Amino acid sequence: MARYGAQFGPDLTFLGVDRCDWADTSTYADADVVILGAPFDGGTSHRPGTRFGPQYIRQTCYLPHDGSRPSLAMRVDALRDLRVYDAGDVEMFSGDAERSVRDLQAAVYAVTSAGAMPLVLGGDHTIAWPDAAGVAQHVGQGRVSMIHFDAHADTGDIEFGSLIGHGQPMRRLIESGAVRGDRFLQLGLRGYWPPPETLDWMAAQNMRSYEMTEIGARGLTECLTEAFAIATDECDGVFLSVDIDVCDPGHAPGTGTPEPGGLTGRQLLDSVRRIAYELPVVGVDVVEVSPPYDHAEITSFLANRVVLEVLSGLARRRRDDADGTTWDPRQPLLDGR
C-alpha cells in the first residue's frame, strides 16, 4: 500500500486538505502540491524524536482543520487557490536507512513526474538526499539548485560507519551529481561544526555558505538576493530545504541539535515566503522538528507556518503571473478594502 496513512499518530492530513495516494496518479491528477510525510530519525546523531515531526507539523494549529488558510500578508488562501493533497507518510523504518531513503526517493520522483511539487515533512535531515535526488531524477541531474537553511552544513562523509545520516545528505547530493556544488546555497550556519577538512571539501565544490556572522554584518536581505542570483543561474528549478534548527533555540527548541545564535522565526518565515514568491521552486522539505523536546509546541507551530508561508508565496506568484501584478509587502492590510 503506497499511502501508508500516518506511521505515527492519527491519520490526519495537513490542516484538512484532501488525501491522495502517491502511487496512483489518478488520485492527484489536478494537484499543484503533494505533501508527503517522511517520519525517519534513523540518521540522528544526537537527540531523536523527529519521526514524530510529520504528525505535529500537520496538526499543530489553533484554527479549524478545514482546508483553508487565508494569508493576511499575501491576500491569498493557498489551501484553496492551489490544489494541495496529502499522500500521508512514506513507510520508513528507522532501522533500515538504505531502504527508507530508496522508498522516499521513489515517492518523490512519482509525485514530481506527475507534474506536482513535492513538499516533504520530516523526519531528520537524512531525507534531503532522497528528496532533492527524486526531484532531480525528473528535472535533470545538476539542473536543480539547492537553498538550504540550517545551523549545520550537513556535508559530513562517514558518521558512525555509515554514509547515510542527517549530517551527510548534502555531500551525498553533490557527490551523486543530483545537485551541483556551485549551485548549493546554505544560510544560517554557525557554531563549532564542521571541522576544517570538511570545510576544505565544501570549498573545493564551490559551495556558498552564509554563516550567521556574515548574515549579521551584511543583512539577511542582501545575502538572500545574492543567493537567488546564483541559484537561478544555469538551473531549471530550486529545491528549498529548511532545517528548523536554523532558528535560535529560543524560537525552535524542539530539535535534535540546537545551536544558539540563529535566525528568528520572523526572519525564517519572511525568507521562505520570498523564495516561494520569487524563485521557480520545484521541491521543499521541512525537517528536524522533534516534538519530544518541544515546549508548548513552539517548534511545531513554526514549522507549520513555514509550510503555509511557502504555499502562500506559491499561490500569490501564480495570481500575480496571471494578472500582471506584483505583491508589495509594504501595502497596508486594509488598503483597498
- In this predicted structure, the answer to whether residue 54 has a pLDDT above a threshold of 80 is yes
Q: Is 233 exposed, middle or buried (0-12, 13-18, 19+ CB in 10 A)?
A: exposed
pTM here is 0.97
CA distance 13 to 25: 18
Whole-number pLDDT of residue 164: 83
- List the Cα angle 310/315/320 in 5-degree steps: 125
pLDDT tens-digit series, residues 19-37: 999 999 999 999 999 999 9
pLDDT tens-digit series, residues 189-239: 999 999 999 999 999 999 999 999 999 999 999 999 999 999 999 999 999
CA distance 248 to 256: 13
Q: pLDDT over 90 for what percent of the chain?
A: 91
CA distance 91 to 21: 13
Whole-number pLDDT of residue 161: 66
pLDDT tens-digit series, residues 75-128: 999 999 999 999 999 999 888 899 999 999 999 999 999 999 999 999 999 999
Ranking 133-147, 156-170, 294-308 by mean pLDDT, the lowest is 156-170
Give the pLDDT band (50/70/90) at residue 1. Answer: low
**Hey, is 188 helix, strand or coil?**
strand
Annotate 6-64 with three-state secondary structure: CCCCCCCCHHHCEECCCCCHHHHCCCCEEEEEECCCCCCCCCCCHHHHHHHHHHCCCCC
